Structure 1
Amino acid sequence: MNKLGVLIILLAALWLPGQAKAEYAYYGLEPDIVTNFIGGSSRNLGYIRVSVELMLEDVSYMEIVTHHAPLLRDITIDIFGRQPADKVKSLTGREEIRQIVLNTLRERLKKETGREMIKDVIFTKYLYQG
C-alpha cells in the first residue's frame, strides 16, 4: 500500500461516526490547598501549599464538579493533613498522595453522582516547609 492509501485510511479512522473524542476539561480547586501535615517529630507540624487541578472526563461535568467543589476541597485538605513528613517531602510519597487524592475523589463523586468524572489529578504547585 502506498503512502496516499495509508493517509486516507488514517483520516477515515479519525472521522468515523461514533468515534467522538473526549473533550477534557480542567477544574482548579481555588484557592490553593493550604494546611498542616504531621511533622518529623510529634511536637512539630509541617506546612504545605498545593495547587490542585482536576482533569475531568468531559467538559459537561464542569457544573457538577463546581457544585461539589467544597466537598472535594475538604477531602483533599483532610488527605494532606494526615500525611507524615517523609511522604510529603519525597517524590514517591508525593505520587502516592496524588493517587490517594485521585482515587478518593473519584469514589466520592461516584457515590454522589453515580459517575466517575475525574480522569486525573495534577499538582501544579507543591510547596512545603517543616
Structure 2
Amino acid sequence: MKPWIAVLLAACIPFAVQANEGGESKEGPPKVVYYSLSPPLVGNYAMDGGPRLHVYKADIALKVTGDEAVAAVKHHEPLIRNLLVQLFNQQSQDAMSSGEAKEALRQEALKQTQQVINAEEGKPVVEDLLFNNLIVQ
C-alpha cells in the first residue's frame, strides 16, 4: 500500500466515526401521526320509535405522537371503535344536528377515548380526536 493512501485513510477515520455518532444522537423529536380509524364508523342513532331511521357515518382520526403510541392505538382499535359506536348510538337527533353539538360530541368522544386508552396502557396516548367527516341523516 502506498504511504499517502494510509495517511489519507487514517485522517478520514475520525470524521467517519463522528458522522456516525452524530447521526444516532440527532434523531429529533417523535413525529405526530394522525391515525385514521378505517373503515369509517356507520350506524343508527336516536331510535325514538318513529318510522324514520337516523344514520351516521363518522370518519375519525386520532392524533398521537411516536411509533409506540401508534402501535398502542392499533392494538386497542377494536376497543376504541366499540366505545365510539356506543357513544354515537346514545346520541339524540339534537346532539347530531348543529355544529356546536357536533363539537361537544367530538370532545366527549376524545375524553372517553383518552380514558379507556389510559386505563389500558397506564399512560396518555391519544392527544386529540378529529372528525374528518361526519354525516348524519
The answer as to 2:30 corresponding to 1:59 is no
Equivalence map 1:1-130=2 (5 Å): 21-38=29-46, 41-43=48-50, 44-129=52-137
Structure 2, unaligned runs of 5 or more: 1-27
Shift of 1:89: 1.0
Moved more, 65-74 or 54-63: 54-63
1:47-86 deviation line (CA, Å, top 9, x unaligned): 0001000001333311111010000001011101100011
Structure 1, unaligned runs of 5 or more: 1-19
Alpha-carbon distance between aligned partners in 1 of 2:57 and 2:31, rounded to the nearest angstrom = 29
Alpha-carbon distance between aligned partners in 1 of 2:114 and 2:128, rounded to the nearest angstrom = 9
Residue identity opposite 1:123 in structure 2: F
RMSD of aligned C-alpha atoms?
1.7
Preserved contact between residue 50 and residue 125 of structure 1 (Cα < 8 Å): yes
Shift of 1:21: 4.0
Which stretches of structure 1, 4 residues or longer, exceed 4 Å deviation after superposition?
Answer: none
Preserved contact between residue 55 and residue 120 of structure 1 (Cα < 8 Å): yes
Alpha-carbon distance between aligned partners in 1 of 2:94 and 2:66, rounded to the nearest angstrom = 35
Query: Which has a greater percent of strand?
Result: 1
- TM-score normalized by the length of structure 2: 0.74
Alpha-carbon distance between aligned partners in 2 of 1:58 and 1:100, rounded to the nearest angstrom = 24
